[in-house]
Chains A and B, each alone.
Chain A
Amino acid sequence: MDIQLKKGLLDVCVLAAVGREPSYGYQIVRIIKPFVDISESTLYPILRRLEAAECLTSYSKEHNGRLRRYYAITPAGQARLDGFRDDWEQIRTIYAFIRLYGGSGKKTENEENT
């Protein structure tokens, strides 16, 4: 998958993962992994970027005698997540166009996995 496109989508995935309740690194990886291949090392730059863009805030909480950093969605992050849902209609239209004109009949979902 195109790196830029995947990067943008992963940002949204992370926002979605912490959308319900604040979560920590390993938990976020576990939530997303069944859908998109992701590791802690891939996640770290995303978290840093989203935090810098104020889409996420983070705080430390004690767990088993050590600190665990929790990430929570901010209103700005929520707005971006909502924005993606609006974008979806447009993306679907673009997808239909690509299928229609570039059509090899191959499903893009399969390409994603290779």
Chain B
Amino acid sequence: MMNKEAFLKRLNGILMGLPEEERQKSLEYYAEAIDDRVEDGMSEEDAVAAMGAPEAIAAQILRDAGIAPDPSLEPPSPEESERQKRRLYTVLIVLIALAAFWRFAGANMVAGTYKIKTKAVSEAFTGISAEMTAYSLEIVPTQGAECWVEYPKNNLNGCEISVKNGVLHLEETRRLTWLSAFLPADRDEHVVYLSLPEALYSAVEATSTSGVVKICPGLTFDAASISTTSGEIKFYAAANAVSLSSTSGGIHVCDIEPSSFTASVTSGDVKLENLAVKDRLSVSSVSGNQYLKTVRAGSVTCDATSGHIGLSGVQADGQLYARSTSGNNTIDHCSAAGIRAESGSGKLSIFSSAATESFFVKSTSGSAAIAECDAASFRFETTSGDLEAQFLRASRSLTAESSSGDLHFAQCDAPEIAVSSTSGKITLGLLTPKKFAVSSVSGHVSCPASAGEEVCSVKTVSGNIDITIEK
């Protein structure tokens, strides 16, 4: 079924040979006729169908104008269209047969099967640079004194090995890259192995598209920089400065002691275990998750957009900063001089953690729960998310502010406590402060426990107050 626009467009196309004015008149006439029928209650498609085929209409108009219509513009006869359809099917079947043949026989004939090649590198080098596309790269230590490269090779793909200016270059080579588009996807993992004698290497730089990059333990580098697109990164070697990045591949690192460490991903996950970083450790992800377990560093920064952050047993000499936007943020058994935990709409959960100085918790709309934590001072800021805090010990002060989120404190110990909210409900239980200030604009305030011994202030503008003072 054709609509009015398509009908008029088609008619206009065929009437191109007609003088502009004549053509315009015809189009106006048919547009009006269709509009009139639609106005009369007919559907647009039915109204167009009532006009008949635009080819036949145009032929009549052109004949009347003394112009021979183009026979190709006549609608194809049913037999003709049937014949065309059959021709199309035949072509399709032939194409499918060709593709099947190519997939099972032709492709292998062209590409050939993979064979493993081995090459010894006799030149001396201190740096390593590797560029891989689909091949995986694995750098392993060797007991011997010689460096070896093992790589898969077939008629199209291989690996080029060279040493220039003290740097060993490994490059995956792909001949006839245009042809590879027609080759069936290779699901096997083809690995280039680089066996390095034990020594201190100045740098390792590796890039890969879909291949995995793995750097094994037992090797030592000054600087390591690895980036992949979809391939995973596994880094287990000793290095001074480590920088890893991947788009959709995951990053896994364990048992290393670098002086600085950076990992960034878009959608892949980052998993760090048993790390001791002298200075700064920084992890960032967009939708990928971050899991840090038993990590010690000078300072720790974790930033995730929609991915989750999970920190367990993370210790920072300086600041520990964990921020998630829409992902959840969980901090468990962590300690630092200062802890700053932020979450946007994700859930924030903090357990059994300690800050020698300040402990700052900020959430926008996500709920926050904190329990069993110590700090010199606690500060909580929430907008609409609720906060639930239990068993907190502050040596100096505890302050909390919220707009509409509820604030709930129980069994918290601090010399000074100040809690204020605009419209959120405030509930305080079993607190032992010396100074105590609670204020609320319209929220309900409930303090059923012992209040301040020296200074006590509870204010609300329009909310209710409910206090029970125990002696």
Contacts of B29 in A (CB 8 A): 25, 40, 44, 47, 69
User: A81 to B382, alpha carbons, bound, how many Å?
Assistant: 89
In the complex, the answer to whether B64 meets A49 with C-beta atoms within 8 Å is yes
In the complex, the answer to whether A41 meets B28 with C-beta atoms within 8 Å is no
Across the interface, A69 reaches (CB within 8 A) one of B28, B52, B56, B57, namely B28
Contacts of A69 in B (CB 8 A): 28-29, 32
Size category of the A interface is 10 to 19
* A6 interface residue per 8 A CB criterion: no
In the complex, the answer to whether A45 meets B61 with C-beta atoms within 8 Å is yes
Across the interface, A66 reaches (CB within 8 A) one of B35, B50, B61, namely B35
Contacts of A24 in B (CB 8 A): 32, 36
User: A84 to B57, alpha carbons, bound, how many Å?
Assistant: 29
Contacts of A66 in B (CB 8 A): 32, 35
Across the interface, B39 reaches (CB within 8 A) one of A41, A44, A64, namely A64
Across the interface, A26 reaches (CB within 8 A) one of B36, B57, B60, namely B36
User: A67 to B56, alpha carbons, bound, how many Å?
Assistant: 25
Residue of B nearest to A52 (CB): B64
Kindly identify, within residues 13 to 70 of chain A, every residue whose CB is under 8 Å from any CB belonging to chain B.
24-27, 39-41, 44-45, 47-49, 64, 66-69
Contacts of B57 in A (CB 8 A): 41, 44
* Shortest CB distance B142–A (Å): 85
Q: With A26-B40, A41-B57, A49-B64 as given contacts, are A68 and B52 in contact (CB-CB < 8 Å)?
A: no
Q: Which of B32, B40, B57, B64 has the most CB of A within 10 A?
A: B32
In the complex, the answer to whether B33 meets A26 with C-beta atoms within 8 Å is yes
In the complex, the answer to whether A40 meets B51 with C-beta atoms within 8 Å is yes
Across the interface, B26 reaches (CB within 8 A) one of A44, A49, A64, A68, namely A44
Mark each residue of chain B from 61 to 74: 1 if its CB lies under 8 Å from any CB of chain A, else 0. Answer: 10010000000000
* Shortest CB distance B33–A (Å): 4
Q: With A45-B61, A69-B29 as given contacts, are A40 and B50 in contact (CB-CB < 8 Å)?
A: yes
Q: With A26-B37, A26-B40, A64-B39 as given contacts, are A41 and B32 in contact (CB-CB < 8 Å)?
A: no
Q: With A26-B36, A26-B37, A39-B51 as given contacts, are A44 and B28 in contact (CB-CB < 8 Å)?
A: no
User: A67 to B50, alpha carbons, bound, how many Å?
Assistant: 21
* B391 interface residue per 8 A CB criterion: no
In the complex, the answer to whether A44 meets B61 with C-beta atoms within 8 Å is yes
In the complex, the answer to whether A41 meets B64 with C-beta atoms within 8 Å is no
In the complex, the answer to whether A25 meets B64 with C-beta atoms within 8 Å is no
User: A69 to B51, alpha carbons, bound, how many Å?
Assistant: 17
User: A48 to B57, alpha carbons, bound, how many Å?
Assistant: 13
In the complex, the answer to whether A67 meets B51 with C-beta atoms within 8 Å is no
Contacts of A26 in B (CB 8 A): 32-33, 36-37, 40
Across the interface, B28 reaches (CB within 8 A) one of A45, A47, A48, A67, namely A67
* Shortest CB distance A27–B (Å): 8
User: A39 to B60, alpha carbons, bound, how many Å?
Assistant: 14
* Shortest CB distance A63–B (Å): 9
* B30 interface residue per 8 A CB criterion: yes
B residues apposed to A, CB below 8 Å: 25-26, 28-30, 32-33, 35-37, 39-40, 50-52, 56-57, 60-61, 64
Between-chain CB contacts (< 8 Å), 6 pairs: A39-B52, A40-B33, A44-B57, A44-B61, A67-B32, A69-B28
Report, nearest first, the 3 A-B pairs whose CB atoms are least far apart. A26-B36, A40-B33, A41-B52
